[in-house]
Amino acid sequence: MKKITITFPDGSKQEFDSGSTGGQIAETISRGLAKKALSVSVNGEVWDLARPITEDATVKILTWENPEGKSTYWHSSAHLMAEAVETLFPGAKFGIGPAIENGFYYDIDMGEHSLTNEDLSAIESKMVEFANRDVPYKREEVPWEHAVEYFTKKGDQYKLELLDEFKGQKISMYHHGNFTDLCYGPHLSSTGKIRFIKLMSVAGAYWRGNEKNKMLQRIYGITFPSKQELDEYLFRIEEAKRRDHRRIGAEMELFLLTPKVGSGLALWMPKGTVIREELEKFLRDEQRKRGYQPVVTPHIANLELYKTSGHYPYYKDSQFAPITMESGEQFLLKPMNCPHHHQIYAARPRSYRDLPIRLSEFGTVYRYEQSGELNGLIRVRGLTQDDAHIYCAHDQLKEEIKQTVELTQFVFHTFGMEVSTRLSFRDNKNTEKYGGDMAFWEQAEREIKEVADEMKLDYFVGIGEASFYGPKIDFMVKDAIGRTWQLGTVQVDYVMPERFQLEYTGSDGLKHRPVIIHRAPFGSFERFIGILIEHYAGEFPLWLTPVQTVVLPITDAQAEYGIKVVQDLKNAGIRTELDDRNEKIGYKIRDWEMKKVPYMLIVGEKEKASGTVSVRQHKKGDLGGIALETFISQIHEEVANKSITV
């Protein structure tokens, strides 16, 4: 019998009979591992445990602890779900059914039938029943014609369409129970490993992600080997719901979205405005330190300006229609601040001595986002960017990029958010999406990568994520419950200087083109505050929170003292309210606890007599009595430090 050498992740090697399977190899390592094994990585490719290995290979047994193992588990779950659907709805036609980050889905053409929640429960029960039969998943490799014949007979046009791409190749099919699917694999050894099943939702999805294609019904589900993990997952979903900025925003009266004003047009209420202004102040101060010059520009501009920039034709569909005057002049509600800033740059001849010029503006822009895209503050139609444009000479570019990256990182760290970095480059296969000379693009991408390397950023590259005028560095932040959001951006632009014929005179006396950096650490105040609300679950750090302290007199006898305390706090620049309602102290405490106010100052006879306040901290409880002046200086310190309480 031929022998093969298997290399393990720790570098150790062992001989096996040729044709040994991943499952058998796992057995020789340990019983426990064999039991936990879901699939096996063979030379970096994920295989079924039952697939024979016939050549020397590097092998890693994959379990629930490995992303690839989870993926195998969920992919098999998708097949199990497909079997349940086919049993309950004969004639259903199947698109694709992959594992995703959290669980799996299957896109299904159900003909006229729309799936209901009852259907989902029925499918879920069927899945449990089928899983309990504990039948094996079997891989079979068949000639292409054979696969075509099978799906033709079954009438599954989607699978046939997929098969078109593999003409003449060997096709792998997977069988389990009464279900057969076209599939690369890999799969679990048997359905019995799938233990706890939850179908989450059903939604429409275009076949192959193309909106010209038919919309299929997509069922999302997730499965786990243990009840505990399922419960934890469901709990996380509840937690995300609890943090929903739309709910908290309404409860805390931060902002208002009403159809009476218009979809996606947020009104900032007094308390939300406090947060917004604190954020503005924070950034304004940081930018001033870094040599930015604030500018202000109007909300509309001549349409020609946006024809010059290229924004108008390119984003026509997502802009509010131009305003046409009787004279024939046309104006556009501004979708971008850049062309305005470019005009300020171009207002007079510039010397190399002036550069870099950093123009900043909290500029409000309007974009007609598709109705289905609107989402609370996260996606709106009127938004204010923390925008800036840096005009610099080419030899200043890398240093300027570095500074903007540093500013962005500083900003996110202030909020206690973990940042990861994506270099967003163009997709070479789809060049008509991008403006300008491709030589500039190559240069810009190279420079961005150099900066990222020099700064030792831990980055990944996103192909096809560039904007139409240049590559970007995008910052993805992780919030308090582990979700990632794309926020800040730094973009290098060689295109707009060309389009606007921007120039400066160099030390050589000749005209040169500047390079522009577009950057926005928050992105927009709307989106950023929406994310902050969810990140903090409405429990903002003291420097941001709309109401920092509330004074609670115990009875009317301390009302006057309460008023004095409130006034002292206000004089000290602390945002304070007085709760002199005729209610018991327990009631008031409960009320303000739910309003997430960081500090309650309870004043009774004792405090009145001694000129102190009894401090109760949100979620922490009674901290005891303290002199008012001491409390004020503690608050000042906490605000100045921008302490994070999460």
Partner RNA sequence: GCUGGCGUAGCUCAGCGGUAGAGCAGCGGUUUCGUAAACCGCAGGUCGUCGGUUCAAAUCCGACCGCCAGCUCCA
Under the binding rule (CB under 7 A), the answer on residue 462 touching RNA is no
Under the binding rule (CB under 7 A), the answer on residue 27 touching RNA is no
Active-site residue, 392 included: no
Binding region for RNA (CB under 7 A) out of 26-34, 63-71, 496-504, 552-560: 552-560
Beta pairing, strands 484-493 & 196-206: unpaired
Closest CA to 92 of 76, 77, 81: 81
Instruction: Assign residue 136 a region (left: φ > 0; alpha: ψ between -120 and 50; beta: otherwise).
Output: beta
Binding region for RNA (CB under 7 A) out of 58-66, 266-274, 562-570, 590-598: 590-598
Contact 599, 589 (CB under 8 A): no
Under the binding rule (CB under 7 A), the answer on residue 610 touching RNA is no
For RNA, the binding residues in 308-347 under the rule CB under 7 A are 311, 315, 318-319, 335-336, 338
Binding region for RNA (CB under 7 A) out of 147-155, 185-193, 229-237, 548-556: 548-556
Neighbours of 413 (CB within 10 A): 12
Quote the CA–CA distance of 101 and 222 in Å, as a whole number: 10
Binding region for RNA (CB under 7 A) out of 81-89, 167-175, 410-418, 581-589: 581-589
Which of 75, 218, 389, 512 is the catalytic position? 389
What length is written for the chain? Answer: 646
Q: Which residues of 231-248 are buried (b: 16+ CB within 10 A; e: fewer)?
A: eebeeeeeeeeebbbbeb
Under the binding rule (CB under 7 A), the answer on residue 479 touching RNA is no
- Site for RNA (CB under 7 A): which residue of 209, 270, 313, 482? 209
Instruction: Assign residue 37 a region (left: φ > 0; alpha: ψ between -120 and 50; beta: otherwise).
Output: beta
Contact 294, 547 (CB under 8 A): no
Under the binding rule (CB under 7 A), the answer on residue 202 touching RNA is yes
Residue 613, strand partner residues:
626
Quote the CA–CA distance of 336 and 359 in Å, as a whole number: 14
Active-site residue, 367 included: yes
Q: Among residues 70 and 616, whose Cβ is nearest to RNA? A: 616
Q: Least distance to RNA from the beta carbon of 403, Å?
A: 20
Under the binding rule (CB under 7 A), the answer on residue 508 touching RNA is no
Which of 245, 367, 535, 616 is the catalytic position? 367
- Pseudo-torsion of CA 241, 244, 249, 250, nearest 10°? -40
Q: Least distance to RNA from the beta carbon of 180, Å?
A: 26
Report which residue type is found at 154.
K
Under the binding rule (CB under 7 A), the answer on residue 367 touching RNA is yes
For RNA, the binding residues in 622-641 under the rule CB under 7 A are 622, 625
Under the binding rule (CB under 7 A), the answer on residue 238 touching RNA is no
Q: Among residues 35 and 433, whose Cβ is nearest to RNA? A: 433
Quote the CA–CA distance of 152 and 144 in Å, as a whole number: 12
**What are the backbone angles phi and psi of residue 95, rounded to the nearest 5°?**
-90, -110
Here the tokens at position 219 are: 């069922």
- Site for RNA (CB under 7 A): which residue of 259, 270, 313, 328? 259
Under the binding rule (CB under 7 A), the answer on residue 555 touching RNA is yes
Q: Number of H helices and number of E strands within the chain?
A: 20, 35
Q: Among residues 217 and 384, whose Cβ is nearest to RNA? A: 217
How many residues at the interface with RNA, by CB under 7 A? 69
Under the binding rule (CB under 7 A), the answer on residue 582 touching RNA is yes
Q: Least distance to RNA from the beta carbon of 375, Å?
A: 5
Site string for RNA, 89-118 (x = CB under 7 A): -------------------------x-x--
Q: Which residues contact 231 (CB under 8 A, 6 or more apart)?
A: none
Q: Which residues contact 321 (CB under 8 A, 6 or more apart)?
A: none
Q: Least distance to RNA from the beta carbon of 421, Å?
A: 16
Element (H, E) at 503: none
Q: Which residues contact 143 (CB under 8 A, 6 or more apart)?
A: 170, 171
Q: Least distance to RNA from the beta carbon of 50, Å?
A: 32
Binding region for RNA (CB under 7 A) out of 63-71, 147-155, 211-219, 293-301: 211-219
Active-site residue, 387 included: yes
- Site for RNA (CB under 7 A): which residue of 38, 50, 205, 547? 205
Under the binding rule (CB under 7 A), the answer on residue 206 touching RNA is yes
Under the binding rule (CB under 7 A), the answer on residue 590 touching RNA is yes
Under the binding rule (CB under 7 A), the answer on residue 600 touching RNA is yes
Instruction: Assign residue 44 a region (left: φ > 0; alpha: ψ between -120 and 50; beta: otherwise).
Output: left
Under the binding rule (CB under 7 A), the answer on residue 374 touching RNA is yes
Under the binding rule (CB under 7 A), the answer on residue 585 touching RNA is yes
**What are the backbone angles phi and psi of residue 92, rounded to the nearest 5°?**
-60, 140
Here the tokens at position 589 are: 């405490």
DSSP-assigned letters across all residues of 445-489: HHHHHHHHHHTT--EEEEET--BTTB-EEEEEEE-TTS-EEEEEE
Quote the CA–CA distance of 451 and 396 in Å, as a whole number: 12
Q: Among residues 29 and 646, whose Cβ is nearest to RNA? A: 646
3-state helix, strand, coil in the chain (%, to 5): 40, 30, 30
Quote the CA–CA distance of 201 and 441 in Å, as a whole number: 42
Contact 205, 239 (CB under 8 A): no
Neighbours of 577 (CB within 10 A): 18
Binding region for RNA (CB under 7 A) out of 164-172, 246-254, 411-419, 494-502: 246-254
Under the binding rule (CB under 7 A), the answer on residue 422 touching RNA is no
Binding region for RNA (CB under 7 A) out of 41-49, 69-77, 439-447, 589-597: 589-597
Q: Among residues 393 and 407, whose Cβ is nearest to RNA? A: 407
- Site for RNA (CB under 7 A): which residue of 30, 155, 178, 203? 203
Q: Least distance to RNA from the beta carbon of 419, Å?
A: 19
Known catalytic residues are 338, 367, 385, 387, 389, 472, 518
Chain positions contacting RNA, by CB under 7 A: 114, 116, 201-206, 209-211, 215, 217-218, 246-247, 250, 257, 259, 263-264, 311, 315, 318-319, 335-336, 338, 367-376, 379, 467-468, 489, 491, 554-557, 582-587, 589-590, 593-594, 600, 602, 604-607, 614, 616, 619, 621-622, 625
